[in-house]
A = this chain, B = another copy of it.
Amino acid sequence: MHKLKLIPVFLSACVILIYIPCSLSHTQAGESAVCVACHENTTPGVVGQWRNSKHSENDVGCLECHAASAAEPDAFEHWTKTIAIIVSPRDCASCHDHEYSQQKGSHHAKAGQILGSLDNLLGEVVGGMPAVDAGCRQCHGAIVKVDPSGRPTSDTWPNTGMGRINPDGSWGSCSACHTRHEFSVRQARQPEACGKCHLGPDHPQIEVWNESKHGIMYHASREDLRLEGENWRAGKEYFVGPTCASCHMCAVADQELTHDVGERISWTLRAPISKKLNMVVYEDDTKEDILGENPLMPKVGTIQTAKGGQAKRIKATLTWRERRARMQKVCQQCHNASFVRSAYKQFEEVVLLYNEKFAGPASHIMAELRKTGRITTEDFDDPIEWTWWELWHHEGRRARHGAAMQGPDYTWWHGMYEVAKHFYNKFIPEMEVVAGKELARDLLNTYVYTHPGHEWHRDGMSKEALERIQEFYRERYGR
């Protein structure tokens, strides 16, 4: 019976042999048939996924992607072929060069460069390396190390982190969004693809979107979205949603698709204090941020010293206003210009409230506490450092992301409510303990009470406000 089972395998292998044309592949045509014939038994799921893929439809087989030259650090012999397990963005670029050039300089590609960040400190030191390998690095990407046999090491692989640093030196992982081995656009257009990493206490984008009108429409009418189509433009091929990809990546009207997911973003919402984001694009497609409302942007065509010290010619620049205009072009497929302006206004006011009422004062206070030796310069050894960390990195982000994507529950309850609650009930009391009475009073007067939003905390609430509240509850709930 085992032999009988192999007959269809053999037949389908034949079919594939016949179908793969020479012209397409950079390996000899039809060679993948041998791979398929075996893997149909050893890992049939992968073969099934591939059969449903556009790759298979277009005669792109196993070796078109996995073949390697012996010189590559992760190349090894596998049944007479030289292959590599990891298919890097540079490998994908042999067919998808345009996409690679967009992805290359994006924040996504750099997601693995968090060596010096507080997040990483937390992970490696406070948590422990195994939690970094199976946690942080499964989204951020790891440096994939290769053992002497050419196989990736078990601490760095499996890894589909977005900023993976591949053995060939390239950054990123296309399969982070286009899951192997179907690699479909359909999947990457759906929100779950992004939700693998954009979720949770520190940046709950998928949760925010799910509760937004955009998410609601998507869930109610996903079947109408024509997710499979060659073209997929809001307002052209589909009218509901949108998904993450619709706004941050996809083409609309006369604006092209981009694989730099941050291109249309005009604020950084992840930093302790939000700033406007401008961009410089170098000739080699790498990119750099320039922060600020009105920075002096360098001239296109000039050469400047890029991060890392290399001199590079500037190919293009993009101010935060231009980036915003690109996003708003998407919004305007369904909303008129004044609606879009107002939505942005509401969003920005929340960012400014966060910056000015809470994060600004708190960050100044933290700096003073360090300067005066009230807390050490070491992170996470004083309770107030944890409080400040979660205030900006978790709660403050939730407020800002909630406002950016119209998720009211995240803007308020998971966001600004938590920011305010912990600012007044944890941050200030903990500051008072470490600062001592005198310095505490000074810090409050200098950084906190200078914002009118904190007056109630110093002066108490008005009698009228209190009476209005009591009256409301009496009427509503009879007590």
Contact = CB atoms under 8 A, between A and B. Distances in A.
B130 A350 contact: yes
B216 A179 contact: yes
Interface in A235-253: 235-236, 238-240
Interface stretch (A88-96, A133-141, A311-319, A432-440): A133-141
B123 A412 contact: yes
A266 to B, nearest CB: 15
Given A131-B350, A134-B408, A460-B378, A342 B43 contact: no
A409 interface: yes
Interface in A385-404: 386, 399, 402-403
Q: Which one of A130, A195, A342, A406 has the highest number of Cβ atoms from chain B below 10 Å of its Cβ?
A: A130
A219 to B, nearest CB: 4
Interface stretch (A9-17, A19-27, A44-52, A297-305): A44-52
Contacts of A213: 160, 179, 196
A332 interface: yes
A231 interface: no
Q: How large is the interface on A (under 10, 10 to 19, 20 to 34, 35 or more residues)?
A: 35 or more
Contacts of A411: 131, 134-135, 138
A102 interface: no
A112 to B, nearest CB: 13
A45 B196 contact: no
A172 interface: no
Interface string A135-176: 111110000000000011111011010000000000000000
Nearest to A335: B43
Contacts of A153: 342
A415 B122 CA distance: 13
A352 B342 CA distance: 46
Contacts of A338: 151
A294 interface: no
Contact of A349 (B134, B381, B419, B466): B134
A465 interface: yes
B219 A199 contact: no
A408 B349 contact: no
Contacts of A453: 128
A359 to B, nearest CB: 11
Contacts of A273: 477, 479
Interface in A78-129: 114-118, 121-123, 125-129
B196 A216 contact: yes
Nearest to A121: B469
A292 interface: yes
A275 interface: yes
Contact of A408 (B138, B235, B376): B138
A187 interface: yes
Interface in A334-359: 334-336, 338-339, 341-343, 345-347, 349-350, 352-353, 357
B239 A52 contact: yes
Nearest to A194: B216
Interface string A440-468: 00000000000001001100110001101
Contacts of A403: 130-131, 134-135
A383 B425 contact: yes
Q: Which one of A135, A187, A211 has the highest number of Cβ atoms from chain B below 10 Å of its Cβ?
A: A135
10 smallest CB-CB distances across A and B, nearest first, come from A135-B412, A45-B334, A116-B472, A48-B239, A130-B349, A44-B235, A138-B408, A154-B342, A135-B411, A131-B416
Given A158-B406, A380-B424, 20 more contacts: A48-B235, A117-B472, A122-B420, A125-B465, A127-B353, A127-B412, A128-B416, A129-B353, A130-B346, A135-B409, A139-B408, A154-B342, A154-B345, A158-B343, A179-B220, A182-B221, A190-B220, A192-B220, A201-B413, A291-B478
14 contacts: A44-B239, A122-B420, A130-B349, A131-B411, A133-B349, A138-B411, A154-B346, A187-B216, A196-B408, A201-B413, A291-B477, A377-B466, A381-B460, A383-B425
